[in-house]
Structure 1
């Protein structure tokens, strides 16, 4: 294990994806495309995104002893991640996400946790993967007690704890106290801070973060780019303009890319700029992990985007 390595503790899901012209109204049935079964889950997506970009990534989680679990392990292995810390739980279904994607690339998702709920504090306490890691990546698609245990152990080991507050849940102050970088979208930030982030000034948002003990955070704002809060500095990172095909997993791509650049020693604003390009690339292709770029693909995409901006 290397000191610039990344540990992702989180969920692994099989994504069952159907495309349709529009989302159905309550009680309505609409016709969709052929069902696609793809590797997903916020934790696995973040690990795959980081590994494809050249990160030294270990995934810690749980899958069922079924075909979906095999799919997820194979996808992460192909991306270059270490899956030796993913526990296979026999007799339990792998986590599953039912995803509908409309003609504008927007998505609607329902998640069945499955084996993700089998991940326990014992798995955290018994793992050797927290040694010498530069960054720990966390989301809230697993048990909050497991998230807190992982954050506490990584913090004690000197790693940067990167917490993605998604899907949103109220989190205890002691978890925020050991979080080094918080990643949220505008909706999540507003819920956490009890502030209308969209209408508030960046300095008011920074003050609200400080009141919660948070000094480093990134708020993603879709086409409006990102706001980066780094100590006393507030900066804006522009979005990369693309025509969205499917936004599933774009936030996870951003998270994985952010982890890679933080592990490499980048400042938060520079890391967020890199992550913005990765998230934009992911929006141009279908699926989550299947849409993530290698470093070479990202370099070509950024070069093309720079030419288009001239």
Structure 2
């Protein structure tokens, strides 16, 4: 697969702490382990797509610090073109503090750092078939990504995570929106029964997007389009760490869409990649190559 994708998004240094259980309010716990690794939703999605064979370029920002160097080296080692990542001499690299319990569940706190400086001018023109962006960077950069995608006759995918109000400028600019169940409720401002095809169709219409993909955790994912609702079944796994699994899903989905798959087939594939990611610790370190995924599915 050789599909051209531009990801306009974040890069974070992930500091992951393992605990027997997640802390309660006001409680202090001792960690059983600590790791530092490359992360950030934009970088994660770019790495996931690249490892699966896609041709990916990442646009974003890091500080002129050791953390920025670590992130650029790690993402580039996964085959991603990082020439679009700016180094901010007066800023620090973004960081995420991640707590993971013995059941693989997590809590995440993000300090945006240089991600907050990504601007429309950083996006410039887009030479790609697909453009993917999300909400760990400012609205103006996301809007610019959508604008340049359409100017280049490319398709624009929005992953509005962590969720905030979707700007009006994006309302009719999104070709595919990818959300989890919580983000879908926030986007609609009302509860939705994800087991109901009719409610998912209404959700797509309310969001004014041609295609909507909703991740459903262990239940898989739903792909919603004008032709109906397709449900990709989940794969039963023993979760080790669910952090970054959603990014693995999104990167894999766009990689397959860019390779020419229909939305339904891409959603099935992405569900498998997301499940695989949950069986390993970390974010980017848990993402498979195509060969690794094949072996895992056959095992």
The bucket for the TM-score relative to the shorter chain is over 0.9
Shift of residue 252, structure 1, vs aligned partner: 0.3
Uncovered stretches (5+) of structure 1, i.e. residues with no partner: 305-310
**Superimposed CA distance per residue, residues 40-64 of structure 1 (whole angstroms, 9 cap, x where no aligned partner):** 0000000010111111000000011
SS in structure 2 of the partner of residue 108 of structure 1: strand
Give, in whole Å, the separation in 2 of the partners of 1:110 and 1:44. 17
Cα displacement (A) at 1:104: 0.6
1:102 aligned partner? 101
Match of residue 215, structure 1, among 210, 213, 218 = 210
The CA deviation at 1:199 is: 5.8
Pairwise CA distance, 1:285: 0.4
The residue aligned with 1:194 is 189
Deviation by residue 1:97-153 (Cα, 9 ceiling, x = unmatched): 01100111011000000011121111123xx4x12x111111101001211111111
Q: Which runs of 5+ in 2 are unaligned?
A: none
Structure 1 position 96, deviation (Å): 0.2
Aligned pairs (5 A) from 1:1-310: 4-125=3-124, 128=125, 130-131=126-127, 133-198=128-193, 201-304=196-299
Contact conserved, 1:173 with 1:212, CA < 8 A, in 2?
no
Deviation of 1:200 (Å): 6.3
1:11-41 deviations in Å (ceiling 9; x for gaps): 0000001000111111111110232111000
Distance across 1 between alignment mates of 2:2 and 2:76: 21
CA distance in 2, matches of 1:168, 1:279: 20
Q: 1:308 — aligned with what? A: none
CA distance in structure 1 between the partners assigned to 2:250 and 2:194 by the alignment: 25
Q: Secondary structure at the match of 2:142?
A: helix
> Partners of 1:250 and 1:232 in 2: how far apart?
28
Structure 2 CA distance for partners of 1:6 and 1:199, relative to 1, 3 Å: closer
What RMSD over aligned residues (CA atoms) do the two structures have, in Å? 1.5
Quick one: structure 1 residues 155 and 98, their matched pair in 2 at CA, closer, same or farther if it must change by over 3 Å? same
Does structure 2 retain, via aligned residues, the 8 Å contact 1:3–1:134? no
Distance 2:116 2:189 in 1: 29
The Cα shift of 1:204 comes to 2.3
Q: CA deviation at 1:161?
A: 0.6
8 Å Cα contact 2:181/2:194 also seen in 1:
no
Partner Cα distance (2:269, 2:215) in 1: 13
CA distance in 2, matches of 1:249, 1:3: 24
1:299 shift after superposition: 0.9
Distance 1:148 1:50 in 2: 22
